[in-house]
Amino acid sequence: MAKRSTSQSGKKSDQGNTNNVQSDKRITISNLGHSGYELKKKISISIRTDQNMAIASYDKLDTFGLGPTEDEAVLDLLNELCEIYQDLETNPGLPGSKSAYWWDHLQMIMSKKANT
């Protein structure tokens, strides 16, 4: 269902090889860029790049997007959030479950666009 982060700390698992990390930054997103969904409020995501890949992550849901560029990683992450919303809309999970937490959080930050 969701792409999951393998490191809660955000550090490379190969601690002996940190030369490949070029940048870590946070950006604010105000638009999902999706025809069916919209953000209700801005979200903060982190982006890490190394020589071969960019990773955009949304820590509150422990999910991420990948791409050869930062823009493509962000787009992948935003698409992932929309896919999670779609999945949980039909099956939000049991109260107290991680899925229920994700669904509650997604409902706070995004919604389906009204049919026009």
Pick the residue with more confidence: 56 or 113? 56
**Least confident span in 10-19, 27-36, 38-47, 74-83:** 10-19
The pTM score is 0.78
Nearest one of 14, 50, 40 to 109, comparing CA atoms: 40
Structure tokens belonging to residue 59? 């820590």
Q: Specify the pLDDT at position 15.
A: 39
What's the DSSP call for residue 4? B
Helix (H, G, I), strand (E, B) or coil at 115: coil
Sign of CA pseudo-dihedral 105, 107, 108, 111: positive
Structure tokens belonging to residue 77? 């992450």
Question: Does an H or E element contain 102, and which?
Answer: helix 98-109
Distance CA 60, CA 69 (A): 23
Distance CA 95, CA 76 (A): 28
Nearest one of 50, 83, 51 to 64, comparing CA atoms: 83
Q: Specify the pLDDT at position 95.
A: 85
Query: If you average pLDDT over residues 91-115, what whole number do you get?
Result: 90
